């Protein structure tokens, strides 16, 4: 970017804390095309001066040295396709967090202006992509969630293709006559209206449904997925813009529930079997075909059990209540007893629970089933029950409320299996081949489990979280999977009942059409929604190291046979993790690059005369750490003035060269502050923070080999609300760096 204008604000205490005229001199020294000082730059009058400079062509980029980039962002936003803007936080980083008039504060401000200027000089305007975008939504799975998604997408004006592996739509819900009530007064069984939903979907002209069909392959990217499906009538190909995976769940394998009598007596059945009886010829005892006098329901059959499913399947309490109500409706003379650990009827289902409890012949007791014995008439042995410590209940039929297992495929595990299988044949040494064979054996169970058959380097299906559910930020952003444009819905995504699965289908359809429309506007989707900048790969210098293709959390990059990355731009979320991974530094965004940050580091002053004033670089995540630091500044908490803060897009975008550059320039320490990682990660890009920790761990080893103390580099995890902790982290790190003494490379 050329013709840079520097706009200095003196408001909010900046003018009192700093010699702003000295900063203006710096701007002049740097070669600014114009430099303006304003008492309140964010005021309409202040903003107008910047706008005028853009409009009359005086400047191509504006350095706004005022408040934090997180403040007044609406005011300082100009057309991103035409105007480059860089913010320098003189208010939060200097005036509010350092002593006014202090020499160190002034040096800090001067550095921040130089750093911002250096970055702006390396900023380019984005070149919007222009791609042809397909509007069709592909829905994989025709149960309630899939049907709801299909209906929603169709009624939002999108063509829809539904691919269902079974021979009918509606999944297991289609077989039920009644459902748990979802509307007032919530106390009686509700007729199953799935036929209406099926009709609503199949009657639409722009909806195609394939049953007994499977996905052979999905290649391409959002807006341009190329889909091949196998159906009884042969193969079909189609284009889709986005995918909703709603492949549902299956009952937990009751064969593993021998301790609950399953398999020992035919009179122990699963909830699904009871539903078949309720839908078919009626409820009978398998051994004699008679109506059972007493039915005992055992809750949490497989669920909430570390041996089986550690989670609660969320649907079984409601299912049991429905079945009890259906039995009492059909056979008032039958007694029912429900053995539960905790009855889980959140919300208004509580009213249904209360109503079922009121029915004569209906009994509920908390307890654990110790064993079930007998063959014809069964004896259920209870322990720790409310009826007593050691109680026996007779039952003619025992129904196991089996939990739900998601119909997911672990894309990363399948890929590990495939890679290891290949290596077991092609690796150079016998040891390597042996090692690969062991890995292949370990992951062999994943062979043949593919559902989506994605043509992605990182595996043919969505990555899963622990317990087999596809990954997401499941509190704030529940549909965000790690494959852009592919959204999980229903009991595949999380344990849920059919009412929730229906809503989930609607939500996933919303995300699917949103992704298609964003692609049509050349915009990124969550979390940098609206970003029109795209990464550029300078492939002539690529060494095929494959780090970028491995580390992208979103599977953006495929590889050709040589291992050269193939960019699928519409899968990209613009996190910059590839940029951090690349040892050749060939990946850049127009407004964010290795070179730009390296230039910022180069622009900092490094006191040659140490005098106990070391220089520290803090690379901090703009998502959580920067807001926390701003919140500290807003409370006028002070921190050490030797620190130069560089906000970065994600800790995962940290390129090791920034550390090397810093140390070789004589900077005494580098601290990286990013989001928490692990199972409960807070990283907006899922793995960025974790990858930074791994990369930095490797750098620390290198430092030691170079006889530099590894303590000069630190990576810290921080939560968004830890505004009191972040200044303390900076202060403490400075103190430790002082104890280490000056960087021995200083002055070289």
185 burial type by CB count under 10 A (0-12 exposed, 13-18 middle, 19+ buried):
exposed
Question: x/- string (CB under 8 A) for other proteins, residues 429-468?
Answer: --------------------------------------x-
- Give the range of 522-530, 542-550, 590-598, 644-652 binding other proteins by CB under 8 A: 522-530
253 binds other proteins (CB under 8 A): no
Describe the strand order of the beta sheet including 61-66 as a list of residue ranges: 34-38, 4-9, 61-66, 84-89
- Give the range of 117-125, 500-508, 596-604, 705-713 binding other proteins by CB under 8 A: 500-508
For other proteins, give the closer residue by CB, 604 or 623. Answer: 623
- Strand 565-567 and strand 557-559: pairing? antiparallel
For other proteins, give the closer residue by CB, 73 or 704. Answer: 73
- Give the range of 172-180, 244-252, 449-457, 492-500 binding other proteins by CB under 8 A: 492-500
Quick check: 400 and 372 in contact, CB under 8 A? no
Which of positions 73-132 make contact with other proteins (CB under 8 A)? 73-74, 77
Phi, psi at 180, each rounded to 5°: -65, 135
417 binds other proteins (CB under 8 A): no
Query: Residues 6 or more apart from 342 whose CB is under 8 A from it?
Result: 366
638 binds other proteins (CB under 8 A): no
155 binds other proteins (CB under 8 A): yes
Nearest approach, Cβ of residue 579 and other proteins (Å): 21
Give which of 205, 107, 208 is closest to 157, Cα–Cα.
205
- Give the range of 81-89, 289-297, 619-627, 695-703 binding other proteins by CB under 8 A: 619-627
For other proteins, give the closer residue by CB, 410 or 450. Answer: 410
Nearest approach, Cβ of residue 336 and other proteins (Å): 18
Residue from 167, 196, 430, 680 touching other proteins (CB under 8 A): that is 680
Residue from 122, 574, 684, 714 touching other proteins (CB under 8 A): that is 684
Residue from 11, 248, 533, 688 touching other proteins (CB under 8 A): that is 11
Which of positions 187-246 make contact with other proteins (CB under 8 A)? none
Nearest approach, Cβ of residue 368 and other proteins (Å): 12
Residue from 503, 536, 550, 736 touching other proteins (CB under 8 A): that is 503
Residue from 314, 337, 380, 393 touching other proteins (CB under 8 A): that is 314
Nearest approach, Cβ of residue 625 and other proteins (Å): 11
For other proteins, give the closer residue by CB, 79 or 612. Answer: 79
What residue has token string 């403040």? 71
For other proteins, give the closer residue by CB, 288 or 350. Answer: 350
- Give the range of 270-278, 453-461, 641-649, 721-729 binding other proteins by CB under 8 A: 721-729
386 burial type by CB count under 10 A (0-12 exposed, 13-18 middle, 19+ buried):
exposed
For other proteins, give the closer residue by CB, 271 or 508. Answer: 508
Residue from 285, 328, 446, 511 touching other proteins (CB under 8 A): that is 511
Give which of 433, 441, 509 is closest to 240, Cα–Cα.
509
Would you give the DSSP letter of residue 262?
Answer: B
Which of positions 545-584 make contact with other proteins (CB under 8 A)? none
Rounded to whole angstroms, how far apart are CA atoms 343 and 357?
A: 12
Three-state helix/strand/coil letters over 455-476: CCCCCCCCCECHHHCECCECCC
Q: Return the half-sphere exposure (C-beta side, CA atoms, 13 A cut-off) of residue 490.
A: 33
Question: x/- string (CB under 8 A) for other proteins, residues 347-366?
Answer: xxxxx--x-----------x
Q: Binding-site residue total for other proteins (CB under 8 A)?
A: 97
Q: What are the angstrom distances between the C-alpha of 17 and each of 11, 106, 685?
A: 10, 8, 37
Residue from 331, 676, 693, 710 touching other proteins (CB under 8 A): that is 676
Give which of 681, 682, 684, 739 is closest to 712, Cα–Cα.
739
Nearest approach, Cβ of residue 25 and other proteins (Å): 25
For other proteins, give the closer residue by CB, 474 or 610. Answer: 474
Q: What are the angstrom distances between the C-alpha of 87 and each of 19, 119, 535, 537?
A: 19, 10, 21, 26
Q: What is the dihedral of CA 198, 204, 210, 211, to 10 degrees?
A: 20
For other proteins, give the closer residue by CB, 242 or 598. Answer: 242
Which of positions 278-307 make contact with other proteins (CB under 8 A)? 304, 306
For other proteins, give the closer residue by CB, 71 or 363. Answer: 71
Which of positions 22-61 make contact with other proteins (CB under 8 A)? 39-40, 42-44
527 binds other proteins (CB under 8 A): yes
Residue from 513, 542, 597, 598 touching other proteins (CB under 8 A): that is 513
For other proteins, give the closer residue by CB, 114 or 158. Answer: 158
Would you give the DSSP letter of residue 266?
Answer: T
Residue from 227, 405, 496, 670 touching other proteins (CB under 8 A): that is 496
For other proteins, give the closer residue by CB, 247 or 385. Answer: 385
For other proteins, give the closer residue by CB, 228 or 305. Answer: 305
Question: x/- string (CB under 8 A) for other proteins, residues 321-340?
Answer: -------------------x
Quick check: 84 and 1 in contact, CB under 8 A? yes
Give which of 536, 453, 466, 492 is closest to 214, Cα–Cα.
453
Rounded to whole angstroms, how far apart are CA atoms 217 and 554?
A: 18
Nearest approach, Cβ of residue 465 and other proteins (Å): 8
Task: Tell me whether the omega of the peptide bond preceding residue 185 falls within 30 degrees of 0, making it cis.
Answer: yes
Please spell the DSSP secondary structure of 468-528, one letter per residue: GPBP-BTTTBTT--SSTTEEE-GGGTS---HHHHHHHHHHHHHHHHHHHHHHHTT---TTS
Q: End-to-end alpha-carbon separation of the chain, Å?
A: 31
Angle, CA of 568, 573 and 575, to the nearest 5°: 120
For other proteins, give the closer residue by CB, 308 or 585. Answer: 308
């Amino acid at each position: 970017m050329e013709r840079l204008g520097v706009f200095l604000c003196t408001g909010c205490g900046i003018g009192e804390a700093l010699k702003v005229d000295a900063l203006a001199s710096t701007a002049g020294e740097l070669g600014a095309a114009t430099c303006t000082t304003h008492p309140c730059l964010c005021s309409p009058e202040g903003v107008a001066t910047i706008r005028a400079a853009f409009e009359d062509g005086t400047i191509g980029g504006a350095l706004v040295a005022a408040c934090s980039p997180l403040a007044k962002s609406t005011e300082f936003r100009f057309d991103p396709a035409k105007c480059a803007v860089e913010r320098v936080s003189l208010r939060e980083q200097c005036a509010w967090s350092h002593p006014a008039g202090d020499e160190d504060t002034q040096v800090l401000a001067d550095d921040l202006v130089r750093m911002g200027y250096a970055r702006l000089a390396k900023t380019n305007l984005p070149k919007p992509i222009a791609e042809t975008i397909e509007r069709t939504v592909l829905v994989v799975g025709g149960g309630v969630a899939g049907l709801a998604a299909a209906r929603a997408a169709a009624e939002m004006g999108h063509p829809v293709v539904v691919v269902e592996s079974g021979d009918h739509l509606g999944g297991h819900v289609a077989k039920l006559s009644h459902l748990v009530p979802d509307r007032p007064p919530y106390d009686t069984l509700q007729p199953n209206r799935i036929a209406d939903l099926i009709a609503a979907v199949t009657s639409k002209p722009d909806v195609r449904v394939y049953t007994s069909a499977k996905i052979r392959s999905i290649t391409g990217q959002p807006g341009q997925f190329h889909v091949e499906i196998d159906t009884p009538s042969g193969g079909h190909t189609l284009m889709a813009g986005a995918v909703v995976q709603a492949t549902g769940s299956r009952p937990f394998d009751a064969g593993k529930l021998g301790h609950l009598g399953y398999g020992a007596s035919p009179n122990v059945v699963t909830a699904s079997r009871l539903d078949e009886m309720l839908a078919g010829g009626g409820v009978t005892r398998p051994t004699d075909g008679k109506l059972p006098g007493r039915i005992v329901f055992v809750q949490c059959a497989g669920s909430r059990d570390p041996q089986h499913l550690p989670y609660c399947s969320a649907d079984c309490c409601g299912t049991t209540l429905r079945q009890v109500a259906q039995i009492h409706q059909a056979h008032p003379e039958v007694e029912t007893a429900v053995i539960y650990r905790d009855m889980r009827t959140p919300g208004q289902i509580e009213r249904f629970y209360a109503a079922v409890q009121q029915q004569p012949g209906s009994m509920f007791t908390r307890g654990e089933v110790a064993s079930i014995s007998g063959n014809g008439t069964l004896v259920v042995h209870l322990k720790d029950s409310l009826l007593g410590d050691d109680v026996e209940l007779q039952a003619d039929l025992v129904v196991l409320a089996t939990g739900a297992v998601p119909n997911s495929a672990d894309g990363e595990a399948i890929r590990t299996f495939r890679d290891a299988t290949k290596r077991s044949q092609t690796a150079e040494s016998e040891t390597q081949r042996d090692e690969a064979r062991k890995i292949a054996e370990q992951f062999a169970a994943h062979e043949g489990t593919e559902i989506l058959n994605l043509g992605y380097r990182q595996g043919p299906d969505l990555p899963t979280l622990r317990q087999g559910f596809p990954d997401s930020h499941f509190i704030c952003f529940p549909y965000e999977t790690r494959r852009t444009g592919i959204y999980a819905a229903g009991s595949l995504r999380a344990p849920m009942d059919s009412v929730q699965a229906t809503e989930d289908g609607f939500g996933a359809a919303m995300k699917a059409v949103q992704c298609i429309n964003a692609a049509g506007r050349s915009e990124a989707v969550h979390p940098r929604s609206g970003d029109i900048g795209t990464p550029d790969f300078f492939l002539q210098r690529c060494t095929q190291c494959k780090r970028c293709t491995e580390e992208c959390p979103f599977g953006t990059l495929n590889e050709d046979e040589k291992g050269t990355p193939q960019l699928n731009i519409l899968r990209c979320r613009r996190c910059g993790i590839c940029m951090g991974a690349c040892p050749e530094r060939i990946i850049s965004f127009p407004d964010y690059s290795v070179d730009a940050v390296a230039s910022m580091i180069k622009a900092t002053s490094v006191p040659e005369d140490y005098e106990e004033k070391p220089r520290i670089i803090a690379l901090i995540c703009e998502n959580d750490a920067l807001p926390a630091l701003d919140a500290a500044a807003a409370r006028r908490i002070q921190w050490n003035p030797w620190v130069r803060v560089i906000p970065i897009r994600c800790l995962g975008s940290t390129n090791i060269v920034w550390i090397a550059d810093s140390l070789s320039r004589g900077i005494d320490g580098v601290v990286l502050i990013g989001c928490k990682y692990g199972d409960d990660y807070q990283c907006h890009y899922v793995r960025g923070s974790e990858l930074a920790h791994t990369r930095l761990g490797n750098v620390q080893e290198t430092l030691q080999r170079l006889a530099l103390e590894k303590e000069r580099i630190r990576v810290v995890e921080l939560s968004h609300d830890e505004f009191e902790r972040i200044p303390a982290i900076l202060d403490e790190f400075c103190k430790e760096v002082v104890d280490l003494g000056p960087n021995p490379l200083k002055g070289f």
